[in-house]
Structure 1
Amino acid sequence: MTETRPDLIRWALIAAAIVALIAAYALLPVQDWAEAFRRWLGGLGAAGWVAFIVIYAVATLCLVPGSLLTIAGGLAFGLWAFPLVLVGATLGAGISFLAGRYLVRDRVADRIDRNDRLRAIDGAIADDGWKVVGLLRLSPAIPFSLQNWALGATRVAFWPYLLATFFGIMPGTLLYVWIASLGAGGGDGGPLRWVFFAVGIAATLAVTVLVGRKARAKLAEKGLSEA
């Protein structure tokens, strides 16, 4: 019971947050705010590009859902938002990773070292860091901003992490930017949306299998059972 209660509390908080977001979208002028943000960025001209990158990086660090800013960027800059989002998201991911490494890693390191299974998973991520990061970026299983902090607490190296992030977020970024750029015409992305969705699901399964297999191998090396 002591193990399940924190989980129940955690899921209750997540559910409450989701309900709050839905209520905020329904009751608050969210679309008007997004349009005002779009007009403001567009009015800045070239300086709006730099402002957008900085805002995106800071928002990523603060765990703001990246999809919201990606869509706003697509509305403001059209397909030109694609490289801007890539730079802003990668910059924010790098800062969040370093913050997670130096603010969180030390706090969880002792717990990882005391738990054979957690240590095995951490080692699996360290061994195949760029693969795991790349698959996670394609996967919708964990929000992008949370991934950055969480991966900072693992032993994955910084530069492989950053490169895998840059290339891994390309498909999803292109999808959101493209749909947003078509927003004025009422498009919804068509079949391509489902293609990217299928890729995301496949990536979720792949990252689960990869990390699980590597973790089991490390446990087996130490003569530990999975029970």
Structure 2
Amino acid sequence: MKTTIPKNITGPAIAGLILSVTPIVFTSVLTYYAIIYEPVIAGFSTWQWIGITLTCAVTSAGLTPPTMLALIFGYFLGWNAILPMFVINFGGILFINLIVRWLDHDRVLAFIRRNPKAQSVLDRILNNELEVIFYAKLSPILPFGLTNLLFALSGARLKNILLGGFLGMTPRTILAVWSGHEAHAIKTLLDNPNQGSWTQIIVVALVIVSMAGLWRTIQKSLKQ
């Protein structure tokens, strides 16, 4: 008996699953090594940090969560971590877009176009894609790699993905770097990154603004 499973398993579907699972695994790995090798990491030279930044600019696409990296970079580099984190964020976005070009992007779009209603909804949302990307990136709870993949597959313009990603990621990146900078022990920081009351309030506020903004933007798009 023939099975339809292979037809339903597309490259983007597999990539989406990977981008949802691997950050959880690598968060534990990063936490372990950052705690065990804290004295070694603290002694890294400028060139070593540059090498780590360039490496993470690729791995942040689906392996190393940028928020976790911002905590670690902030702990060891203080406010000097801001520039490396933006390099990492932009690198992850660009790398995902390269992957999408290699995967069966056209097959996904062809599947969507077979459903006129789905295509109509997507087209309307893309009319306000910069707002959608901004609010999605503003939320600390939406996976970085997965949202990048979805926006790349949707056909959103790269300049809007980069600009919306920059604007949305800036508040949460600065918050994570600040949390790392203020921490006195990396184990406490990574075990409970939102231990401060102000940090918790800001995180909740970012989530609320993100969800409310997405809802308003999508509703506005559907009414057009």
- Whether TM exceeds 0.5 here: the answer is yes
Q: Distance in 1 between matches of 2:89 and 2:162?
A: 10
Residue aligning to 2:11: none
Q: SS in structure 1 opposite 2:109?
A: helix
Which segment drifts farther, 202-211 or 174-183? 202-211
Residue aligning to 2:152: 152
Residue aligning to 2:125: 125
Contact 2:138 2:210 in 1 (8 A): yes
For residue 113 of structure 1, what is the amino acid of its counterpart? Answer: R
Distance 1:71 1:99, change over 3 A: same
Which segment drifts farther, 41-50 or 157-166? 41-50
Residue aligning to 2:72: 72
Cα deviation 1:21-80 (Å, max 9, x = unaligned):
5xx95xxx8644113565454433211332232122122223432222222211221121
Residue aligning to 1:204: 211
TM-score by length of 2: 0.75
Within a 5 Å distance, the mapping from 1:74-153 to structure 2 comes to 74-140=74-140, 142-153=142-153
Contact 1:71 1:177 in 2 (8 A): yes
Residue aligning to 2:3: none
Q: Distance in 2 between matches of 1:66 and 1:190?
A: 22
For residue 220 of structure 2, what is the amino acid of its counterpart? Answer: R
Within a 5 Å distance, the mapping from 1:177-216 to structure 2 comes to 177-184=177-184, 188-216=195-223
Q: Distance in 1 between matches of 2:157 and 2:163?
A: 11
Q: SS in structure 2 opposite 1:153?
A: helix
Q: Distance in 2 between matches of 1:66 and 1:163?
A: 17
Residue aligning to 2:5: none
Distance 1:38 1:117, change over 3 A: farther
| Per-residue deviation, 1:116 | 2.4
Which segment drifts farther, 103-112 or 182-191? 182-191
Q: SS in structure 2 opposite 1:169?
A: helix
Q: Could you list the runs of 5+ residues in structure 1 that have no partner in the other structure?
A: 1-5, 7-12, 218-227
Residue aligning to 1:50: 50
Aligned residues: 201
For residue 72 of structure 2, what is the amino acid of its counterpart? Answer: A
Which segment drifts farther, 147-156 or 66-75? 66-75
Q: Could you list the runs of 5+ residues in structure 2 that have no partner in the other structure?
A: 1-7, 9-16, 190-194
Q: Distance in 2 between matches of 1:183 and 1:104?
A: 44
Which segment drifts farther, 120-129 or 170-179? 120-129
Supply the RMSD in Å over aligned alpha carbons.
Answer: 3.2
| Per-residue deviation, 1:152 | 0.5
